[in-house]
Amino acid sequence: MRSTGDDARSETSDREIVNTRVLHAPREQVFRAWIEPEILARWWGPKGFRNTFQEFDPTPGGRWRFVMHAPNGVDFPNESVFEEIVPPERIVFRHLSPVHAFQLVATFAEEGGLTRLTFRMRFETAAECAKVKGFVPEANEQNLDRLEAELARMA
């Protein structure tokens, strides 16, 4: 279920897309949902997508290779490299796609037993960011909706 009010927001600048959500789960559980591949594969991506992970090493310099399978049957190969992992506070990785390259910084802030997740995508140029601004903020919200549902199942 999508959060409302201050619990969910999307912001953009000329090189960044930022989504924030307050999740009804402890920070350690939210962080776990990001670094355990069997959990991450269940919720990663917009509504209707599935994932096949080929490699997942959430350590600095570790690779994450997977295919996102769209509901219409189109496959989207993805590759990222983890730059920083600070349990349970922060995950940073660089998405290496030549089409949509970006750095993703996910921060997990504890708020009285809840977790404020900030999902910040930084693109190399404003032009690269502009290419995806029309659909990525909403796709990220769908991704966070799926995370919320997975956290409810984990509870």
**Using H for helix, E for strand and C for coil, what is the string for the chain?**
CCCCHHHEEEEECCCEEEEEEEECCCHHHHHHHHHCHHHHHHHCCCCCCEEEEEEECCCCCCEEEEEEECCCCCEEEEEEEEEEEECCCEEEEEECCCCCCEEEEEEEEEECCEEEEEEEEEECCHHHHHHHCCCHHHHHHHHHHHHHHHHHHHC
pTM of the model: 0.90
pLDDT digits (tens, 9 = 90+) for 50-85: 999 999 999 999 999 999 999 999 999 999 999 999
Range of the domain at 91: 5-42+85-154
CATH number of the domain to which 32 belongs = 3.30.530.20
123 inside domain: yes
Q: Check residue 146 and give its pLDDT.
A: 98
* Residue 26 maps to a domain: yes
Average pLDDT, integer, range 3-25:
77
pLDDT tops 70 at residue 4: no
Confirm whether 126 is domain-assigned: yes
Q: Is 62 part of a structural domain of the chain?
A: no
* Residue 58 counted as domain residue: no
| pLDDT one-digit tens code per residue, 79-125 | 999 999 999 999 999 999 767 899 999 999 999 999 999 999 999 99
Q: How many domains does the chain have?
A: 1
Domain assignment of residue 125, yes or no: yes
